Structure 1
Amino acid sequence: MIWDRDPEEASKYLKAVHEVQLLTENLGGLHLDIEDREHDVLLSRAYSILQMAMARLEEEFIHLLIQYQQPVEPDRMSFRSSEEDSVDDYSFSSFDEEQVEGRIHGDSSRGSEEFVIDLVHSCAIFDLKRIAEMMFLANYDKECCQAYISLRKDALDECLSVLRMEKLSIEDVLKMDWTTLNCKIKRWNRMIKVFIRVYLVSERRLSDLIFGDLSQSVRDSCFVETSKSSILQLLNFGEAVAIGSMQPEKLFRILDMYESLADLIMDIEALFPEEYGACILLDCHEVLLRLGEYLKGTLNELKNAIRTNTSNIPLVGGGIHPLTKYVMNYIRVLVDYNEILNTLLEDQDRKNQCSPSEDGGRSSCLNSSPMSDYLKDATSILESSLETKSMLYKEDSLQYFFKMNNVCYMVCKVRDSELRIFLGDDWIREHKRKFRQHAMSYERASWNHVLSFLKDEGIWNPGSSTPSKTTLKERFQNFNLAFEEVYRVQTAWIIPDVQLREDLRISISLKVLQAYRTFMGRYSSYLDGVRQRDKYIKYYPDDLESCLLDLFEGSPKVLHYPRRR
């Protein structure tokens, strides 16, 4: 190839081609009055030479583009990430405490995703530019542009392949299992930023460098035709995802898709001029709209999933139901996307008028935003579902215990996270009151029966100054049996929240120990000298206090023998 040899030879060749071009132009511009056969032959010969020269220049142009094309190096831009190897599935079982704590909403900062690279080595740009100008001068602009577009389209296709973005039909995407699709969406979210902010920006720069002294329309049309198929390939994937089934576990990954594309809209608008790139801009906005509709539908699907979550088996021990954990940890992650979700929900919820507050209105605004309304709806539906699930327990005490645990869990999740900003302090106060009311109802249902044996009523014989020993024996004995039964059952129950567990133990201890001390102090002496006294007065207050510390640990225990001092 000429440009592989001496640069001076390439310059001479271009000069010679230019002379042929000028000769052809001059011959073609002559207007002879009579037919001149010699002129026609000369003109035909000049055109033939020019055509051969243009074909040779096209070959040289293609050769230079290929020879000096720079390899795609995604590792330089930190495209590969350890995050890509650990894919969250956001399924019902994935929202454990530790996993949620470590789940960070990916930001849209530009960082390594935004810089210009040389797609073709800089040493070849001058020669490519000279060849392009010569071909345009000779009216071979179409051939030059077609050669450029064809090669650069292939280069961008190769770039997508290296970035591991394969071509997928809508059917391919719809048939994928969620684990596979989840991984591909995560890669798409990272890759589209790199592709647009690095490769397409660099592709635009290359077009400007080579066709820079030609018209703006040439630069624009070459770039648009070069990049159109690759950007549409990316958008087609987004469209395919947006028409898939709406499932809550997909929401966060597709929120990332929406955020990525929304963040890139201005970049895309800057790259693609409206005259040539209108269809691309329209497709971008259409895919963004469809993703938004998908997200709104999935948010509604989440509420339906909470509402229709059914189970015929009560949770052992009355602890935190998996649905409660899932929903509360799910919405904790949801608030990281509050700006997007407020925008999406605004057209189907009321537009809120925010009153000023001490923090400039921020808390008040968030507390009455579409996002806030949605979260209140979701937690309300969860409470209704928990109420239904509590009815699976036969014992009233365990029904209240279960609701106490779950509402307390909800309060803690709201109080200790940004959910507090959206649900507000009034919500927290109201639900604190609820779980405390459930705790009081539990205490009455569990312990009123036990404490009923420590009442004075019915102990004294009519007309006697001494209590009935038989009745006292029965009372102490029945108290022992009732206490031991509660102990046996409720050591298997569990309160995960340490503070709630401690508070409830203290409350029970105050009631039980005070009543037992009073009853024992008042009547134990009447059983002095009674045969097998320890059979009736089995426990001292300290023994009961120690027993009460075993409650709610989720480990069933049985009191076989009286505790001795």
Structure 2
Amino acid sequence: MAECKSLIPAIEGEEHVIAAAQHIVRALGTSKNLTDGMRKILTDLDTQLSSMTVLTSSKKGEIREIEERLNSFQEKITRWESDQSMIWETSPEEASEYLKAVDEVRSLAESLGSMPSNEDAEVNKILCQAHSVLQMAMVRLEDEFVHILVYNRQPFEPEHMSFRSCEEDIVDEESTISVEDDPGEDSLRRDSCSKGAEEFIIDLVHPDVIPDLKCIANAMFMSNFDQECCQAYISIRKEALDECLFILEVEKLSIEDVLKMEWSGLNCDIKKWIRALKIFFRVYLASERRLCDQIFGEFGSVSPTCFVEASKASIMQLLNFGEAIAIGSRQPEKLFRLLDMYEVLAELLPDVDALFSDCTGSCVEFECREVLKRLGDSIRGTFMEFENAVGSNTSTNPFAGGGIHPMTRYVMNYIKTLTDYSDTLNLVLDDNDGLDLASSLHSAIPVIEEEKEAESSSYSASPMAHHLQSVTSILETNLDGKSKLYKDVSLQHFFLMNNICYMVQKVKDSELGTFFGDNWVRQHNWKFRQHAMNYERAAWSSVLSLLKDEGICNPGSSSVSKTLLKERFRNFNLAFEEVYKNQTGWVIPDPQLRDDLRISLSLKVIQAYRTFMGRHASHLDGGRQSDKYIKYSADDLQNYLLDLFEGSPRSLHNPRRK
């Protein structure tokens, strides 16, 4: 009996075998030689065999029912294979019916998969059919998903985000700017549009189709086709992000391409990059993240993963441009663009952190910070290069007219513009990654005693303040060397007076005052006034010496010699005319300084001339004899002095007396 019982699992599943076994058991049960225990075993075995017969019949019926349902749903799914139209464009009802059929096939496949089918060929056959239908449906759903994403994309219009083309406001800059050039007051101005992008989220795909995309994604995820769905999404959105950069005028340039570019073209591309970066991160990527969350938000880490994979290539395109600029040559004219790039990227770091806060986006955060670090290194290096350029700038010829040297204008306008970036420069110049930039500057630049004195309360003892003062110290040393190119000592002082006065005015009339302080202004006011006095002594002492009484008396007598007096007036006229001829060609651009110096000269020259004439004019014969030697009245000289320092040389051939 035990042996018969052990045979049951082996024959289970075959209905006719079960019936035969049940017939045998019942035949054995009619024997009169059975004990009560054996009879009970046969009765239990008969009951089990009867139960197996019922189950087997039930299973067969269930399989037939599943097969019938599967065929029905397969018909609904396959009929769309020959239809070129899109289901979701046909009608909501058709889409709903299709999804319902897919869901039913998936459920049937799960039911079949839960059946013991190791030796049941019929179950395996139907299961393969279900999987085939499901595969067909998933391919169609993927096509529908892609079609909806592509054909319902919303237009991206950056002109509504305060975006303007670079060409509209490019500063007139040469391909290279030398410290010998005079760039003018405005050509070093900060790009006012570098921070103009508005911040808002837009619908990248029409809102009406978001529920459809979610339903399709849900069906594919439930059927274990999540990778196919995600890859389709990533591929389409990558193209959309590339198109966004194209609209923002960001070219696909390799690092090598950027390094080969001329500055004029590179300058324009940097401005485009600065504007595009803000729009891309704060508008487009923020909107892209929301779209991912809308479609895949219910699937855990899927949404951030799709977002990172879709956007990473475009982000790296932008960051590679920033890195190329950072590792490129360090010409001084690039510093402002580097600062603009640094500021916009630093400003966007909180946005980057918010968009890529999960572990899947950590690589993007890391790359952004690395590019920011390299830009900071480039800013420090470029600032040092600017200082070196100022210090090494040489001239072979003196600057005509002794006016404000182009280098002085360039340097002061340059550092004045840098005050717009004071917070950034203080941060970057103070963060040297182990390089003591301040010490290196001190070793290269002799610190003058006046700068060691305590500054007033208006002085900002910041890293930037130190570096700006170092630049002006270098400038002063260079200007002193350039002044030696003049053979005329008076013109040397005149040149330094003009240039130091210009430096003082630039500091007083701008935010530079915060970085230089009142003490620096006082010291340099004193400097240029000292040069003004030295100019007066060197230029006019020989003229004024001719208006002194010494040397005009007869030998051995206190009486005035008419001959010597005539010679003295003649020499004075010649000396004044020579000074007039020279110094009308000299220039003082600052109106206040020009008036002050004219007044000072008038007080000295006119007073001395009036006094000399008052004492000695009577010693000359009257009439034409007197006019021959006294060519100019005091009023004439007063008027002539007003012609000085205008930069247009004149000659006094005929006096303008009335």
How does the TM-score come out when normalised to structure 2? 0.81
Shift of 1:163: 1.4
Distance 1:366 1:460, change over 3 A: closer
Cα distance in 1 for residues equivalent to 2:155 and 2:91: 26
Instruction: Name the structure 2 match of 1:10.
Output: 95
Provide the residue aligned with 1:106 in structure 2: 192
Q: Distance in 1 between matches of 2:186 and 2:283?
A: 36
Letter in 2 for 1:241: I
SS in 2 for 1:106: coil
Identify the match of residue 223 of structure 1 among 301, 307, 310. 307
Aligned residue among 515, 530, 533 for 2:608:
515
Q: Secondary structure at the match of 1:459?
A: coil
CA distance in structure 2 between the aligned counterparts of 1:89 and 1:244, rounded to whole angstroms = 19
Aligned to 1:208: 293
Check the 8 A contact 2:258/2:266 in 1, yes or no: yes
User: 2:190·2:336 contact (CA, 8 Å) conserved in 1?
Assistant: no
| Structure 1 residues 561 and 236: alpha-carbon distance in aligned structure 2, compared to 1, 3 A threshold | same
1:505 paired residue number:
598
Contact 2:194/2:340 (8 A) holds in 1: no
Q: Indicate how the Cα distance of structure 1 residues 411 and 135 shifts in structure 2: closer, same or farther if over 3 A, else same.
A: same
- CA drift of 1:253 comes to 1.1
8 Å Cα contact 1:108/1:263 also seen in 2: no
How many Å apart are 1:108 and its aligned residue? Answer: 6.5
1:211 alignment partner, SS class = helix
How far off its partner does 1:146 sit?
0.6
After alignment, is 420-429 or 74-83 more displaced?
A: 74-83
Give the distance between the partners of 2:362 and 2:473, measured in 1 at CA.
45
The structure 2 residue matched to 1:96, chosen from 184, 191, 194, is 184
Q: Supply the AA of the counterpart residue of 1:116.
A: I
Give the superposed CA RMSD.
Answer: 1.9
- Change in Cα spacing, 1:444 to 1:94, as seen in structure 2 (3 Å) is closer
Name the structure 1 match of 2:476: 383
- How many residues align structurally? 550
Q: State the match for 2:384 in structure 1.
A: 300
1:45-60 alignment runs, 5 A limit: 45-60=129-144
Measured at CA, do residues 112 and 325 of structure 1 come closer, stay the same or move farther in structure 2, by a change above 3 Å? Answer: closer
Contact 1:224 1:276 in 2 (8 A): yes
State how 1:165-176 maps to structure 2 within 5 Å: 165-176=250-261
The structural deviation recorded for 1:73 is: 1.6
Corresponding letter in the other structure for 1:534: D
Match of 1:551 in 2: 644
Deviation at 1:456, TM superposition (A): 1.5
What is the TM-score normalised by the length of structure 1?
0.94
Shift of residue 239 of structure 1? 0.5
* 1:115 maps to 2:200: yes
The residue type equivalent to 1:395 in the other structure is: D
Would the alpha carbon gap of residues 80 and 564 (structure 1) be closer, same or farther in structure 2, given more than 3 Å must change?
closer
Q: Give the Cα separation in 1 of the matches to 2:514 and 2:296.
A: 54
2:157 matches 1:73 = yes
Matched to 1:489, the amino acid is: N
Call closer, same or farther: CA 1:365–1:553 in 2, change over 3 Å: closer
* Amino acid across the alignment from 1:285: R
Which has more radius of gyration? 2
**1:113 Cα shift?**
2.7
Shift of 1:170: 1.0
For 1:542, the equivalent position in structure 2 comes to 635
Tell me which residue corresponds to 1:268. Answer: 352
1:95 Cα offset (Å): 2.7
Structure 1 position 151 matched with structure 2 position 236: yes
Question: Is contact 2:250-2:273 (8 Å) kept?
Answer: yes
SS of 2:298's equivalent? coil
Q: Call closer, same or farther: CA 1:125–1:563 in 2, change over 3 Å.
A: closer
Bigger mean CA offset, 408-417 vs 362-371: 362-371
The structure, 1 or 2, with the larger RCO (C-alpha pairs under 8 Å, 6+ apart) is 1
CA contact (8 A) 1:84 1:186 kept: no
Supply the AA of the counterpart residue of 1:292. Answer: G
CA offsets, 1:500-546, max 9 Å, x none? 00000010111111111111111111113487322211111111111
Residue in structure 2 matching 1:367, options 452, 456, 460: 460
Greater shift in the superposed pair: 90-99 or 73-82: 90-99
- Look up the match of 2:19: none
Q: State yes or no: 1:238 paired with 2:326.
A: no
Distance verdict in 2 for CA 1:281–1:18, change over 3 Å: same
Letter in 2 for 1:200: L
CA contact (8 A) 2:199 2:282 kept: yes
In structure 2, how many angstroms separate the alpha carbons of the residues matched to 1:95 and 1:423? Answer: 23
Question: 2: distance between equivalents of 1:175 and 1:277?
Answer: 32
Q: Which amino acid aligns with 1:244?
A: G
For 1:252-267, list aligned pairs within 5 A.
252-267=336-351
> Unmatched 5+ residue regions in structure 1?
352-361
How far is 1:94 from its partner?
A: 6.3
Cα distance in 2 between the residues matched to 1:465 and 1:341? 72
Q: Is the 8 A contact 1:220 1:273 kept in 2?
A: no
Partner in structure 1 of residue 266 of structure 2? 181
Structure 2 CA distance for aligned equivalents of residues 538 and 58 of structure 1: 104
Distance 1:262 1:83, change over 3 A: farther
Aligned partner (choices 137, 162, 183) of residue 247 of structure 2: 162
The one of 322, 344, 347 equivalent to 2:406 is 322
Provide the residue aligned with 1:435 in structure 2: 528
Q: Post-superposition shift, 1:126?
A: 0.4
* Shift in alpha-carbon separation, 1:150–1:434, aligned structure 2, 3 A: same
Instruction: Report the CA distance between 1:468 and its aligned residue.
Output: 1.3
Q: Secondary structure at the match of 1:97?
A: coil
Post-superposition offset of 1:315: 1.0
Q: How much has 1:107 moved relative to structure 2?
A: 6.8
8 Å CA contact 1:211, 1:218 repeated in 2? yes
Change beyond 3 A, Cα 1:31–1:364:
farther
SS of aligned partner of 2:404: coil
Distance 1:461 1:126, change over 3 A: same
Task: State how far apart, in whole Å, the 2-side matches of 1:365 and 1:45 are.
Answer: 85
Structure 2: distance between partners of 1:430 and 1:146 = 69
CA shift digits 1:15-55 (9 cap, x unpaired): 110010011111112235x5101011011111111111111
Q: What is the DSSP-based 3-state SS (H/G/I as helix, E as strand, rest coil) of the residue aligned with 2:220?
A: helix
**AA of the residue aligned to 2:183:** F
Partner SS, residue 439 of structure 1: helix
Q: Please point out which of 258, 265, 280 is paired with 1:195.
A: 280
- The answer on whether the counterparts of 2:241 and 2:314 sit within 8 Å (CA) in structure 1 is yes
CA offset at residue 458 of structure 1? 2.2
Say which SS state the counterpart of residue 118 (structure 1) adopts: coil
Deviation at 1:156, TM superposition (A): 0.7
- Which SS does the other structure have where 1:320 is aligned? coil
Does the C-alpha gap of structure 1 residues 339 and 403 become closer, same or farther in structure 2, counting only changes over 3 Å?
Answer: same
Contact map agreement 1:89 1:249 (CA 8 A) in 2: no
In the alignment, the residues of structure 1 paired with residue 169 and residue 531 of structure 2 have an alpha-carbon distance, to the nearest angstrom, of 45
Question: 1:411 — aligned with what?
Answer: 504
Cα separation, partners in 2 of 1:39 and 1:379, compared to 1, 3 Å: same
Structure 1 Cα separation of the partners of residues 379 and 615 of structure 2: 68
For 1:214 and 1:562, how far apart are their aligned partners in 2?
Answer: 98
Q: For residues 398 and 31 of structure 1, what CA distance do their matches in structure 2 show?
A: 109
Separation of aligned partners in 1, 2:186 and 2:267:
21
Unaligned runs of 5+ in 2: 1-85, 440-454
State the shift of 1:563 in Å.
4.0
Alignment check: 8 A CA contact 1:306 1:385 kept: yes
Judge conservation of contact 1:89–1:182 (CA < 8 Å) in 2: no
Contact persistence 1:493–1:551 (CA under 8 A) = yes
> Matches of 1:350 and 1:406 in 2, distance apart?
26
